[in-house]
Structure 1
Amino acid sequence: MVQLNLPAFYTTPLTQVILVGITCFATVGMFSAVSNLGAGGSQDVILSDISQGVLYGMFALTGLISGGINNLLGPRLTLFIGTLGYALYVGALWCFQTQGTRWFLIFAGAVLGFTAALLWSAQGSIMMSYPLEKDKGKSFGIFWAIFQFGSFIGSVIALAINIRSGSLSAVSTSTYVAFIIIIFIGIASAFLVLPPNRVIRSDGTIVKLEAASKVHEEVIGMAHLLKDWRMIALLPMFFASNYFYAYQGAINAGMFDGPTRALNATLEGAGAIIGALLIGFFVLDSKWFGRRTRGYLGLAVVAAMTIIIWGVALSWQVTFDRADAKALLDAAKLINYKDENYKGKGALYFFYFFSDACYQALAYWIMSALTNDPFQLARFAGLYKAVQSAGAAGSFGMDAVATPYLNEHLASWILMLVSYPLAFLVIRTVKETNYDDEETVYVDDIKRAEAEKGHAPPAAEEKSSIDKASVKDAGESPAPLVSDA
Structure 2
Amino acid sequence: MKIYTLSIMQNIFGKIRYYSPMTQVVLVGLVCFFCPGMYNALNGMGGGGQVDRTTGNNANTALYCTFIVFGILGGSIVNLCGVRWTIAVSGLSYALYSGSYIYLNHTGNGAFTIAAGGLLGVGAGILWAAQGMIMVSYPREEEKGKYIAVFWVIFNLGGMLGGILPFAINYHSESNSLSDSVYIAFIVLESLGAVLGLALAPPSKVTRSDGSSVVLVKYTSARKEALEILKLFLNPTILALIPMCFTSNFFYSYQFGPVNASIFNIRTRGFNNIFYWGAQMVGAYFLSFLLDNQHMTRRKRGLYAFVIVAVFFNAIWGGTLKQQLKYTHGPLPSGEPTDYPGGLIDFLEHKRAAGPIILYTLYGLGDALYQNLAYWIIGSLTNDNQKLSRYAGFYKGIQSLGNTVAWQLDAKNVSYMNQLIGNWVLLGISLFPMLYVILTLKDHSEDISVPEKVAEGADDKLSIETA
Is the TM-score greater than 0.5?
A: yes
Where does residue 423 of structure 1 map in the other structure? 434
CA distance in 1, matches of 2:445, 2:341: 61
Equivalent positions of 1:164-243 (< 5 A) are 164-165=172-173, 167=175, 170-173=178-181, 175-210=182-217, 213-243=220-250
The answer to whether the aligner puts 1:313 opposite 2:324 as a matched pair is: no
Where does residue 387 of structure 1 map in the other structure? 398
Q: Which amino acid aligns with 1:353?
A: G
Query: What SS is found at the alignment partner of 2:93?
Result: helix
Extract unaligned runs of 5+ from structure 1. 1-6, 450-456, 463-467, 472-485
Distance 1:308 1:143, change over 3 A: same
Where does residue 400 of structure 1 map in the other structure? 411
Shift of 1:144: 1.3
Distance 1:286 1:52, change over 3 A: same
8 Å contact kept, 1:196–1:206: no
The answer to whether the aligner puts 1:365 opposite 2:373 as a matched pair is: no
Distance 1:323 1:254, change over 3 A: closer
Q: Which amino acid aligns with 1:314?
A: L
8 Å contact kept, 2:74–2:129: yes
Shift of 1:79: 1.1
CA distance in 2, matches of 1:37, 1:399: 14
8 Å contact kept, 1:40–1:171: no
Query: What SS is found at the alignment partner of 2:380?
Result: helix
8 Å contact kept, 1:55–1:112: yes
Shift of 1:461: 5.0
Residues 74-125 of structure 1 show CA distances to partners (whole Å, capped at 9, x for unaligned) of: 1222212321211211121122223434211111011111111000101111
8 Å contact kept, 1:276–1:358: yes
8 Å contact kept, 1:70–1:78: yes
Farther-moved stretch of structure 1 (322-331 vs 259-268): 322-331
CA distance in 1, matches of 2:341, 2:260: 17
Residues 234-282 of structure 1 show CA distances to partners (whole Å, capped at 9, x for unaligned) of: 00000001110111112211122223222222221111111111112x1
Where does residue 254 of structure 1 map in the other structure? 262
CA distance in 2, matches of 1:38, 1:370: 36
The answer to whether the aligner puts 1:336 opposite 2:343 as a matched pair is: no
Where does residue 378 of structure 1 map in the other structure? 389
Aligned pair count reads 443
Distance 1:152 1:144, change over 3 A: same
Shift of 1:301: 1.1
Query: What SS is found at the alignment partner of 1:320?
Result: coil
CA distance in 1, matches of 2:287, 2:168: 30
Equivalent positions of 1:277-356 (< 5 A) are 277-280=285-288, 282-322=289-329, 328=338, 333-337=343-347, 338=349, 340-356=351-367
Where does residue 444 of structure 2 map in the other structure? 433
8 Å contact kept, 1:79–1:118: yes
Farther-moved stretch of structure 1 (403-412 vs 321-330): 321-330
Q: Which amino acid aligns with 1:307?
A: N
CA distance in 2, matches of 1:162, 1:351: 24
Shift of 1:165: 3.9
Farther-moved stretch of structure 1 (345-354 vs 258-267): 258-267
Query: What SS is found at the alignment partner of 1:180?
Result: helix
Q: Which amino acid aligns with 2:145?
A: G
8 Å contact kept, 2:153–2:285: yes
CA distance in 2, matches of 1:287, 1:122: 28
CA distance in 1, matches of 2:44, 2:403: 18
Shift of 1:415: 0.9
CA distance in 2, matches of 1:278, 1:101: 44
Residues 342-374 of structure 1 show CA distances to partners (whole Å, capped at 9, x for unaligned) of: 331111111101010111101110010001111
Farther-moved stretch of structure 1 (385-394 vs 160-169): 160-169
8 Å contact kept, 2:16–2:23: no
Distance 1:375 1:50, change over 3 A: same
Shift of 1:177: 3.6
Farther-moved stretch of structure 1 (159-168 vs 227-236): 159-168
8 Å contact kept, 1:210–1:460: no
Shift of 1:440: 5.8
TM-score normalized by the length of structure 2? 0.88
Q: Among residues 103, 115, 118, which one is paired with 2:111 in the alignment?
A: 103
Where does residue 66 of structure 2 map in the other structure? 58
Where does residue 149 of structure 2 map in the other structure? 141
CA distance in 1, matches of 2:296, 2:290: 9
CA distance in 1, matches of 2:263, 2:458: 57
Q: Report the RMSD for the aligned CA atoms in angstroms.
A: 2.8
Extract unaligned runs of 5+ from structure 2. 1-14, 460-464
Query: What SS is found at the alignment partner of 2:293?
Result: coil
Distance 1:81 1:191, change over 3 A: same
Farther-moved stretch of structure 1 (331-340 vs 255-264): 331-340
CA radius of gyration, larger in: 1
Distance 1:438 1:59, change over 3 A: same
Where does residue 84 of structure 1 map in the other structure? 92
